[in-house]
């Protein structure tokens, strides 16, 4: 039994949840989210809550039960208050700026790195602090991870990109005799 899946998900005031076929729509004050769910899980929506039940008692359905419950909770939370991730860019000569719907990075390569910002995400870059905001938790997390993967924080000098609050383990480097 999934501990997360068997709990009822409360629908707060101002949020509307509807289902048409296998697509679940969540409409709130910050926007609309839609997600396609497999038919292995039965989603029943009442006025104030959402309940999930498994159709078959196999391992795959049980694993989807809690996952789908978490997805629905994240969708409801995202349309009420957007998700936000922050990156810190450290290093001499490393720069970031937003031009229109593109990020322009100077990361120590021989060329500038240009990354387009997907729809549904707002991004700001002031000095070396990058803030990525959006209502879809999955999209915000994956886009932030792809930005961070351009120049991860290295362990010897600590240069590169890191999440806010992330601690990069430092190595000692060469010892002189």
Q: For residues 151 and 123, give the distance between their C-alpha atoms in angstroms, rounded to a whole number.
A: 18
pLDDT above 90 coverage of the chain, percent: 73
**What is 14-78 written as a DSSP string?**
T-EEEEETTEEEEEETTEEEEEE--TTEEEEE-SSEEEEEESS-SHHHHHHHHHHHHHHHHHHHH
Q: How confident is the model over 34-49, as a mean pLDDT?
A: 91
Q: How confident is the model over 145-164, as a mean pLDDT?
A: 93
Asked if the model's pLDDT at residue 108 lies above 80, the reply is yes
Q: How confident is the model over 26-33, as a mean pLDDT?
A: 94
Domains and CATH numbers, the chain: 9-80 (3.90.930.12), 83-163 (3.90.930.12)
pLDDT above 70 coverage of the chain, percent: 99
Tokens of 106: 């100077």
Contact at 8 Å (CB) between 139 and 157?
no
Q: Is the model's pTM score more than 0.85?
A: yes
End-to-end alpha-carbon separation of the chain, Å?
Answer: 60
pLDDT of the residue at 161: 94
pLDDT of the residue at 14: 92
Q: How confident is the model over 56-79, as a mean pLDDT?
A: 92
Pairing relationship of beta strands 121-126 and 113-116 according to DSSP bridges: unpaired
pLDDT of the residue at 107: 92
pLDDT of the residue at 75: 95
For the stretch 8-24, pLDDT in tens is 999 999 999 999 989 99
pLDDT of the residue at 1: 62
CA angle 31, 147, 70 (to 5 degrees): 45
Pairing relationship of beta strands 121-126 and 129-134 according to DSSP bridges: antiparallel
Q: How confident is the model over 92-121, as a mean pLDDT?
A: 94
Q: Which of the two residues, 47 and 138, has the higher pLDDT score? A: 138
């Amino acid at each position: 039994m999934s501990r997360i899946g068997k709990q009822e998900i409360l629908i707060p005031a101002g949020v509307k949840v509807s289902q048409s076929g296998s697509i679940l729509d969540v409409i709130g004050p910050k926007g609309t989210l839609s997600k396609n769910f497999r038919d292995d899980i039965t989603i029943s929506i009442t006025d104030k809550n959402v309940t999930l039940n498994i159709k078959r008692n196999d391992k795959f359905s049980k694993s989807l039960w809690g996952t789908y419950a978490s997805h629905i909770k994240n969708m409801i939370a995202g349309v009420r208050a957007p998700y936000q991730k922050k990156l810190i860019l450290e290093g001499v000569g490393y720069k970031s700026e937003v031009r229109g719907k593109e990020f322009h990075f100077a990361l120590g390569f021989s060329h500038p790195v240009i990354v387009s910002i997907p729809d549904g995400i707002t991004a700001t870059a002031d000095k070396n602090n990058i803030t990525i905001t959006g209502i879809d938790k999955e999209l915000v997390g994956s886009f932030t991870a792809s930005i961070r993967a351009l120049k991860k924080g290295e362990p010897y000098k600590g240069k590169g990109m890191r999440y806010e609050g992330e601690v990069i383990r430092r190595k000692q480097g060469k010892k002189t005799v």
